[in-house]
A and B are shown apart, each in its own frame.
Chain A
Amino acid sequence: MLEVQNLTKVFNRGTVNEKVALSQVSLKLEAGDFVTVIGGNGAGKSTLLNSVAGVFPADGGRILLDQKDVTRLSEHRRAQYLGRVFQDPMMGTASDMNIEENLALAYRRGKRRTLKWGVTGAERARYRDLLRELDLGLENRLTDKVGLLSGGQRQALTLLMATLQAPRLLLLDEHTAALDPKTAAKVLALTQKLVEENHLTTLMVTHNMHDAIRLGNRLIMMNEGKIALEIAGQQKQSLHKADLIALFEKSGGSLESDRMLLS
C-alpha cells in the first residue's frame, strides 16, 4: 500500500537553524494496516505525514503508493489517493462555505472540476444520511456556514470529508490534540468506526500514548527523525504505557521534558 524508502527531510539546510526532521526513514504499510505514530516534539512525526501528503518535497528517498512512485507528485495531485485530517480543526474545512459545499468539494477529490452544478440533489440526500450517523445534529444544518460549528463538529466533518471518497490511505495528524477530552474521545470513536467500515489503511500521529496503544494494529515510536521502535500484533495488544516508556528508553530514546509523558 504505502512504502516509504530512506526518506530524508532537512529544514533550513545550510543555516544555523538546520534541522534534520527525517533521517533515512523506511516504513511499509500493508492494505488495511492502522498504524499509530508516537514520539516527542520534533521527533519527525508530522514531517513524515506531510512528506507522504506532499506538502513539501523530500530531500532524499522515495514514497510509493500502490507501487506507484509519487515522490515528485504535487500535493494536489497526490490528494486523489489521500484523505487527510489536520491538528487544527480550522484547517480541514472552508469556514465561509456551508456544510454541503464543503462535503461536495471533498466528494470530488481527485476529479476534474467542471462547470456542472457544485452540489446535486442526490448528493444532498446522501450527505444528510451520513451526517445523521455522526449524531451531532448536523443533518438539518446543511446550509449553515462551517465557521459556526464547534471544533469537535468541524473535526468530525473533516473526517467525514476525508472518507467520503474512500482514500487509499488516511492520514491523521494529531487530529484530536486540539479538542477537549470528551470531544476527543467522540472523534476517536468516529475515526475507528469510519476506518473499520471503509477498511481504510491509516497512518495516525498522536501525542497520546494511551490512544496509540489502544487504536490500530501497529505502533511506531519516532525519535530524532528516525523510527526508534515498532510494535505490532499480539505484543501491541498486551502493551502498557510503562512498558512503552521502558522499551523506548532501552532503544536509546529519551523522554525528558516532553508533552508526551503528560498525556
Chain B
Amino acid sequence: MTQVLLGAVSLGLLWSIMTIGVYITYRILDVADLSVEGSLPLGAAVACALIVKKTDPYLASLCAMGCGCLAGLCTGLLHTKLKIPALLSGILTMIALYSVNLRIMGAPNVSILRMNTVFRPLIRLGMSSSAAIIVVGGGCAVLLITVLYWFFGTELGSAIRATGNNQRMVRAQGINTDTMKILGLVISNGLVALSGAFIAQSQNFADVQMGTGSIVIGLASLIIGEVLFGGKNFYRRLVALILGAVVYRMIIALVLEMGMNPNDLKLFTAITVALALWLPQGKELLRTVKKSAGRERA
C-alpha cells in the first residue's frame, strides 16, 4: 500500500507541472486550451527521441519544453491572427501534433528502457525510483512556483492576468491582448510538454496516445486543488495546484486498488470533473432549495 501511495505521489508531482500549465490558460487567460492533449505527448516524444540518440536527458527535457512552447505559439497564432475560436484552435493544434509526434518518434511508441533519464543519477545513488521521481518532480514544482509567482507579479505578468480578466480594459491601457494571449499559451504548453517529458522518462517510454484525456486530468487536479487547498493569494493557489494533482493521483490509485476496472478510469475522471465543475452552481441550487423549504414550513 505504501508503495502504491508513493507511486501516486511521484506521478502526481510530475502531472502537477502539467496542471500548472492548464491553470495558466484555463484560469488566468480564461481560455480552454485543448492543444495540451497534443503537447503532452509532444514533450514525451521529443525527450525520448533525443534520449535514444544519447542526448543528455536534462537537455532533452529542455528541448521538449521548447517544442511545447512552439505548439502553444501555433495555437496562439491560429486564435489571434486567423481569429479561429480558442477551443477550435486548440483542437487543430492537437490533431496536427498527432502526426508530428508520430514523425518525431518514427513509430507509435519509443522505449528508453535502461537508458539515461533525469531520474537515473539519483537512482544510481541508491534511491528507489519513486523517491527519485519525488525529488526531481518536487524540486521542479517548487522551482516553478517560485518563478511563476515572480513572473505573474511583473508588469508583463500582470498584463497577462488582466487580459484574462477584461480585454477591453487591457487594450485601453495600451496592451496588445493578442500578444498576451500568445505568450500565455506558449508558457502553458511549454510546461505541459516538460511534464510530458518527465512522465515519459518515469515510465521509460513515450506513446502517441498518452495525451488522450490529459486536459480532463489537468482540470480534475486543478479543481480538486482549488476546492481542498485553495487560498486567496497567488502563492497559495499555485501550491494548491500541486497538492490537487497529487490528491487526484491518490484517488485514482485508491479506486484501482479497490478493484475498479482500469478501462473505466477515464469515465470516472470525466464524471468527477463534471460534478466538480457543477459544484458552485450546485451549492447555489441547494441553498435556494433549502430556503424555499424553510419558507414553506414557516
Residues of A at the B interface (CB closer than 8 Å) are 53, 74-77, 79-80, 82, 84, 86, 90-97, 101, 104-106, 108-111, 113-118, 161
Known: A94-B162, A97-B162, A105-B162. A115 touches B155 (CB 8 A): yes
Contact pick for B172, options A90, A92, A115, CB 8 Å = A92
Q: Number of A-B pairs whose CB atoms are under 8 Å?
A: 84
B165:A94 contact, CB within 8 angstroms: yes
Closest residue to B160 on the A side, CB-wise? A113
The residues in B between 167 and 221 inclusive whose CB is less than 8 angstroms from any CB of A are 168-177
Q: Which residues of A contact B161 (CB under 8 A)?
A: 94, 96-97
The 30 listed contacts between A and B (C-beta, < 8 Å) are A76-B175, A77-B174, A79-B171, A79-B172, A80-B174, A82-B172, A84-B172, A92-B169, A93-B169, A94-B162, A94-B169, A97-B161, A104-B158, A105-B158, A105-B159, A105-B162, A106-B173, A108-B155, A110-B174, A111-B174, A113-B155, A113-B156, A113-B159, A113-B175, A114-B154, A114-B155, A116-B154, A116-B155, A117-B155, A118-B153
Q: Which residues of A contact B7 (CB under 8 A)?
A: none
User: Per-residue CB proximity of B67-82 to A under 8 Å, as 1/0?
Assistant: 0000000000000000
Q: Which residues of A contact B170 (CB under 8 A)?
A: 76, 94, 105
Q: Which residues of B contact A91 (CB under 8 A)?
A: 166, 168-169
Closest residue to A105 on the B side, CB-wise? B173
Closest residue to B163 on the A side, CB-wise? A94
Closest residue to A118 on the B side, CB-wise? B158
B153:A117 contact, CB within 8 angstroms: yes
Known: A115-B156, A118-B155. A93 touches B176 (CB 8 A): no
A108:B156 contact, CB within 8 angstroms: no
Name the distance in Å between A76's Cβ and chain B's nearest Cβ: 5
Number of interface residues of B (CB under 8 A): 22
When chains A and B are docked, how far (Å) is the Cα of A95 from the Cα of B166?
A: 8
* New contact pairs (8) apart from A90-B166, A105-B173, A109-B174, CB-CB < 8 Å: A53-B172, A75-B171, A79-B173, A95-B166, A101-B158, A106-B173, A117-B154, A118-B155
Give the top 8 A-B pairs by smallest Cβ distance, nearest first: A79-B174, A94-B165, A118-B158, A113-B155, A110-B174, A94-B162, A113-B156, A84-B172
When chains A and B are docked, how far (Å) is the Cα of A108 from the Cα of B159?
A: 10
When chains A and B are docked, how far (Å) is the Cα of A80 from the Cα of B153?
A: 22
Known: A77-B174, A84-B172. A94 touches B155 (CB 8 A): no
Q: Which residues of B contact A93 (CB under 8 A)?
A: 166, 169
B173:A118 contact, CB within 8 angstroms: no
When chains A and B are docked, how far (Å) is the Cα of A61 from the Cα of B172?
A: 22
When chains A and B are docked, how far (Å) is the Cα of A115 from the Cα of B174?
A: 17
Q: Which residues of A contact B176 (CB under 8 A)?
A: 74, 76
When chains A and B are docked, how far (Å) is the Cα of A82 from the Cα of B171?
A: 11
When chains A and B are docked, how far (Å) is the Cα of A115 from the Cα of B166?
A: 21
B157:A118 contact, CB within 8 angstroms: yes
Closest residue to B161 on the A side, CB-wise? A97
User: Per-residue CB proximity of B264-275 to A under 8 Å, as 1/0?
Assistant: 000000000000
A97:B165 contact, CB within 8 angstroms: yes
Name the distance in Å between A70's Cβ and chain B's nearest Cβ: 13
Name the distance in Å between B82's Cβ and chain A's nearest Cβ: 17
Name the distance in Å between B29's Cβ and chain A's nearest Cβ: 12
When chains A and B are docked, how far (Å) is the Cα of A114 from the Cα of B158?
A: 10
B171:A76 contact, CB within 8 angstroms: yes
Closest residue to A95 on the B side, CB-wise? B165
Q: Which residues of B contact A84 (CB under 8 A)?
A: 172
Q: Which residues of A contact B157 (CB under 8 A)?
A: 118
When chains A and B are docked, how far (Å) is the Cα of A101 from the Cα of B165?
A: 12
Contact pick for B154, options A80, A96, A115, CB 8 Å = A115
B173:A109 contact, CB within 8 angstroms: yes
Name the distance in Å between B160's Cβ and chain A's nearest Cβ: 9
Closest residue to A78 on the B side, CB-wise? B174
Closest residue to A80 on the B side, CB-wise? B174
The residues in B between 97 and 139 inclusive whose CB is less than 8 angstroms from any CB of A are none
User: Which of B153, B168, B174, B176 gathers the greatest number of chain A CB atoms within 10 Å?
Assistant: B174
Q: Which residues of A contact B162 (CB under 8 A)?
A: 94, 97, 101, 105
Q: Which residues of B contact A118 (CB under 8 A)?
A: 153-155, 157-158
When chains A and B are docked, how far (Å) is the Cα of A240 from the Cα of B165?
A: 43
Closest residue to A84 on the B side, CB-wise? B172
User: Which of B162, B172, B177 gathers the greatest number of chain A CB atoms within 10 Å?
Assistant: B172
Q: Which residues of B contact A94 (CB under 8 A)?
A: 161-162, 165-166, 169-170
Q: Which residues of A contact B173 (CB under 8 A)?
A: 79, 105-106, 108-109, 161
Closest residue to B164 on the A side, CB-wise? A96
When chains A and B are docked, how far (Å) is the Cα of A205 from the Cα of B289?
A: 45
When chains A and B are docked, how far (Å) is the Cα of A75 from the Cα of B178?
A: 12
Q: Which residues of B contact A86 (CB under 8 A)?
A: 168
B158:A97 contact, CB within 8 angstroms: yes
